[in-house]
Structure 1
């Protein structure tokens, strides 16, 4: 590695102006002894602090620029120089923390790092993950040092949910712990992921869901919805879930700025990530006459609030469990077998297939990707077919429910 001994920097602008060359090189800070910036062939710049301790030269890698500013790098250099003056090695201290030898690295502290460095880069709203951490993980192992998270500790956390009868939730806890500790292994903070010793198939055996509502069940459920005492906006939400085929999270996050009544289009800019890629996709909902009327009623309720379904605090949407609670309260008024809000999507898909609509059009309304070679080459949006199908679907549901039950609209 070459060193630009005749070039110094003293300002952030000078650091910005350093350009990559055919070989990596380092440039010294004019104002701070031992602080360098390394410029790689790729253009990546990183801070280093070189110092001598006990007759040996050591180098501390501080981090990348501009993630760490010149001011921050100088501050870290000064703190490190103070350690060296006391006979302590900044590099060894960093390495010790990295491999989990420091008792100050608590699991909950590492968890916040994982959320910031991994989860929030891929998920706009990691609500469920944070809920799982706060309710099912941190109370039991959050205050333990990361290097003390053993197989036994992990098993206790997972089996707590199993013993409560929530096998699926236990498997979610296991999955989150595995991903978190995989990243800790990647960082070198632990040497082994203890979750790997606990097989997922021993925690929960997944059961394929096939629940959907028949015409009679649709009428029974929504008759109970209309006559129940739940908040009116929740009633609209439960009906929209069936009419639009959108996911519950997409209903919760719906904003008025994305709904165009003139073009009859509701834009969902970010949907649930694809199961295989983890990437979210934009989605369009072509609104039927009935959906437009419902949304206009919701607009009256929402007033000037940004979200379609208004939360308790100004500028927020309703809570994650609001529709679940409403659905369960209504379901308790009937003798219907249990089902979830997500099953309403399956209900719509099943009936639309039975009615002879094109499968690709239905999958497009569900915002599913077409699998295999056909998916690679079929990029059609089916706008006209989707518009016609969703209008016929709304007509069909309203006919099933009977106008008498829709008077409250």
Structure 2
């Protein structure tokens, strides 16, 4: 009868090794011949016999590995971590797997297939979590906001569905069941397309269920796109004398004078405004990287007036509602809807002789007047932080700071004349 091979490891020995490494010491053992205590090198790998191996990293992570041969080649199966899996449990698990190997099984391959099978059983909610972790952070700030909003909608509608079972009809039902505008529904469709494109990239599905879906078929033709308007000189004069809170009117003037996007002003901090050099540094923009905005004399004056009204806040336009301040830890920027609401309130209460406009129309107003003042098209586009198109946009990395400075100075002088005429 063949004598059973003696198992090499002892539970108390493993415990001491792990504790030594985790406390910053060197693991040791007694030499069986000399009885001397000898240090052990890290990383450590010790066999318990018949392929079961205990490994210990320099950081103190201990793992069980089963080493075996399959098809004439060496293979490894990671069993799990110690002490989550004890020595006796690791031996039991290894015996079971060795029995399978003896009849032709490959446990490492079986484990990979099991993981792949579990992956195919992902729910849409799990896919969304993976998308948020791996894809969403690499998108632009504005796209992140839009996609995040729609990922919540998707999760609420089809989150429990298995990814592999979602069909085109499920997407259509979701689109028809969301109470949103045509444009917002289009963004929802774009978001769910990108989400299932991610699923296809992970090989959870072979065909994107959004393929072939047209929003016009579910919601009808797209409504006419509202055209941006340019406020004329008479309308600008009326606007500059608007009955608004001083902070709101100054914000409107700065949006006009700089042609920035509203979000860039709402999130601006005073440490980004260099009044001595006449430069506003915007750290991030919708188009990606930040930029420096030259400030005209008129805009500098408006910023200085705002500083007196900011109440010591780090934000150029600080929050006014105490609830918002508390929610953001005491100091926060203005609600993004505040200026738009102030403009709408002015229209409702005072019925000015001005065409109804939104904060974004202030950019189109600046663009049109810059062209009217003789500023070249490409400089105008750079003032609005628009990317140049085609090959020119790929290779031209010039910031046009001096050209933008001259253009915005000319525009600022024009706005200052309008303001001065009202005094």
TM-score normalised by the chain length of structure 2: 0.68
Q: Which residue of 1 aligns with 2:272?
A: 258
Distance in 1 between residues matched to 2:365 and 2:331, nearest whole Å: 33
**2:336 pairs with 1:328:** no
Q: 1:295 deviation in Å? A: 1.8
Q: 1:50 deviation in Å? A: 6.0
Residue in structure 2 matching 1:347, options 347, 365, 372: 365
Residue in structure 2 matching 1:132, options 150, 156, 178: 150
| Bigger Rg over Cα | 2
Please tell me whether the aligned partners of residues 84 and 90 of structure 1 are also in contact (alpha carbons under 8 angstroms): no
Residue in structure 1 matching 2:211, options 177, 191, 196: 196
Please tell me whether the aligned partners of residues 243 and 346 of structure 2 are also in contact (alpha carbons under 8 angstroms): no
Alignment of 1:3-14 (within 5 A): none
Please list the CA deviations of residues 85-122 of structure 1 after superposition, one character each: whole Å capped at 9, or x if unmatched. Answer: 788964344212222x2xxx432332122112111133
Distance in 2 between residues matched to 1:83 and 1:320, nearest whole Å: 62
Distance in 1 between residues matched to 2:92 and 2:163, nearest whole Å: 25
Distance in 2 between residues matched to 1:147 and 1:247, nearest whole Å: 41
Over the aligned positions, Cα root-mean-square deviation in angstroms equals 4.2
Distance in 2 between residues matched to 1:181 and 1:76, nearest whole Å: 39
Distance in 1 between residues matched to 2:407 and 2:401, nearest whole Å: 10
Alpha-carbon spacing, 1:155–1:299, altered in 2? closer, same or farther (3 Å)? same
Q: Which residue of 2 aligns with 1:387?
A: 405
Alpha-carbon spacing, 1:262–1:95, altered in 2? closer, same or farther (3 Å)? same
After superposing the two structures, state which structure 1 stretch, 342-351 or 395-404, moved more. 395-404
Please tell me whether the aligned partners of residues 378 and 388 of structure 2 are also in contact (alpha carbons under 8 angstroms): yes
Q: Mark the runs of 5 or more structure 1 residues left unpaired by the alignment.
A: 1-9, 14-26, 38-47, 63-72, 274-279
Q: Which residue of 1 aligns with 2:333?
A: 317
Q: 1:262 deviation in Å? A: 0.8
Please list the CA deviations of residues 338-360 of structure 1 after superposition, one character each: whole Å capped at 9, or x if unmatched. Answer: 54322221111111112211222
Alpha-carbon spacing, 1:28–1:325, altered in 2? closer, same or farther (3 Å)? same
Alpha-carbon spacing, 1:124–1:376, altered in 2? closer, same or farther (3 Å)? closer
Q: 1:300 deviation in Å? A: 3.2
Alpha-carbon spacing, 1:396–1:132, altered in 2? closer, same or farther (3 Å)? same
**2:127 pairs with 1:110:** yes
Alignment of 1:157-176 (within 5 A): 157-161=174-178, 164=179, 166-176=181-191
Distance in 1 between residues matched to 2:278 and 2:402, nearest whole Å: 12
**2:257 pairs with 1:243:** yes
Q: 1:178 deviation in Å? A: 0.7
Distance in 1 between residues matched to 2:90 and 2:237, nearest whole Å: 74
Q: Which residue of 2 aligns with 1:301?
A: 309
Distance in 2 between residues matched to 1:49 and 1:132, nearest whole Å: 43
Alpha-carbon spacing, 1:310–1:337, altered in 2? closer, same or farther (3 Å)? same
Q: Which residue of 2 aligns with 1:151?
A: 168
Query: What is the number of residues matched between the two proteins?
Result: 347
Distance in 1 between residues matched to 2:215 and 2:83, nearest whole Å: 43
Alignment of 1:57-96 (within 5 A): 74=81, 90-96=111-117
Q: Which residue of 1 aligns with 2:29?
A: none
Residue in structure 2 matching 1:282, options 282, 290, 294: 290
Alpha-carbon spacing, 1:81–1:316, altered in 2? closer, same or farther (3 Å)? farther
Residue in structure 1 matching 2:383, options 338, 343, 365: 365
Q: 1:387 deviation in Å? A: 2.0
Distance in 1 between residues matched to 2:207 and 2:355, nearest whole Å: 44
Please tell me whether the aligned partners of residues 221 and 330 of structure 1 are also in contact (alpha carbons under 8 angstroms): no
Distance in 1 between residues matched to 2:184 and 2:402, nearest whole Å: 41
Q: Which residue of 1 aligns with 2:33?
A: none
Please tell me whether the aligned partners of residues 98 and 188 of structure 1 are also in contact (alpha carbons under 8 angstroms): no
Q: Mark the runs of 5 or more structure 2 residues left unpaired by the alignment.
A: 1-17, 25-41, 57-62, 98-106
Distance in 1 between residues matched to 2:291 and 2:278, nearest whole Å: 14
Q: 1:315 deviation in Å? A: 3.8
